[in-house]
Amino acid sequence: MLSTPAWLTLEAKDPDRLTAFYEAFLELDVVSESEQEAVLSAGETALRLRAPGEVPRGGLHTHYALTVAEGEYDDWYDSLDERFDLVEHTFGDQRSLYFYDPEGNCVELGERPGAPGGVSDLFELVLEVEELAGAVEFYADLGFEVVDDGRKEGRVRLSTGAFDLELWAPRLGIADARGGVHVDFGVVAEAPDSVAREVADRARSVTAVDEGVRIRDPDGHYLTLVGA
């Protein structure tokens, strides 16, 4: 069983510069820094900013969404609107704003009732895939449940109940966002070894690592199952 996201990695030609961006504009705290990687805290999710190097690399032009408290959304909008050309979209009665970081990642901040103060947990991640039907089957077998099947539009939304994953054929979404390529992310799972066995015959690789079990999917994305 899958639950919450553990981390998302973004590739940064200059991790120091991207770290300064997220510190200044989203007020994220730095957890650790090295020459190759900086780790920031977005609630319970770690945002890893990694220089190009060994695999797994961070994702390129990744669209992802972080949470803001419902009562703070307008303040975040006003603050970011002074610096960025924001795009806003409403889903039911919840609003999201979109802007781009210096590496071309489309960052979404979405208001959520009951969220803590500040910018917190990752609630959505978009992966670009070559063959949508096969990718949906792969992630469904890992434990994600299809909650919005928009295959005619080239996208399918899946969920663990705590975290949503969108799979996109190459396309442009809201704010001209694109799905990430070679994305590296982690998700908390009960019995990671058992979950990984469900897709072992279709994955490019399944590897035991210190943090859990790392799966490389057919499109080259890296998902690490982290023990609960």
Output the 3-class SS for 108-128. EEEEECCCCCCEEEEEEEEEE
CATH of domain 2-227: 3.10.180.10
Q: Which of 128, 125, 160 is nearest to 144 (CA)?
A: 160
* Summary count for the chain: helices (H), strands (E): 4, 16
Query: Tokens at residue 192, please?
Result: 């990671």
Span 145-166, average pLDDT: 95
**pLDDT exceeds 80 at position 228:** no
Note the pLDDT of residue 162.
Answer: 92
Note the pLDDT of residue 116.
Answer: 86
Note the pLDDT of residue 104.
Answer: 97
Note the pLDDT of residue 208.
Answer: 96
Note the pLDDT of residue 31.
Answer: 97
Span 176-182, average pLDDT: 98
Span 60-81, average pLDDT: 96
**pLDDT exceeds 90 at position 160:** yes
* Residue 132's pLDDT band (cuts 50, 70, 90): very high
Query: Tokens at residue 9, please?
Result: 């990695």
Contacts of 181 (CB under 8 A, 6+ apart): 59, 60, 61, 128, 220
Span 192-213, average pLDDT: 96
Note the pLDDT of residue 113.
Answer: 85
Note the pLDDT of residue 117.
Answer: 87
Note the pLDDT of residue 134.
Answer: 97
Contact 121, 43 (CB under 8 A): yes
Q: Where are the beta strands (DSSP E) in 70-183?
A: 87-91, 94-100, 106-112, 119-128, 145-150, 155-159, 164-168
Output the average pLDDT for the chain.
Answer: 96
Q: Which residues, in sequence order, are bridge partners of residue 213?
A: 208, 225
Residue 206: other Cβ atoms inside 10 A: 16
pTM for this structure?
Answer: 0.95
Note the pLDDT of residue 78.
Answer: 97
Note the pLDDT of residue 115.
Answer: 80
Q: Which residues, in sequence order, are bridge partners of residue 223?
A: 185, 215
Q: Tell me the percentage of the chain whose pLDDT exceeds 70.
A: 100
Contacts of 115 (CB under 8 A, 6+ apart): 67, 68, 69, 70, 121
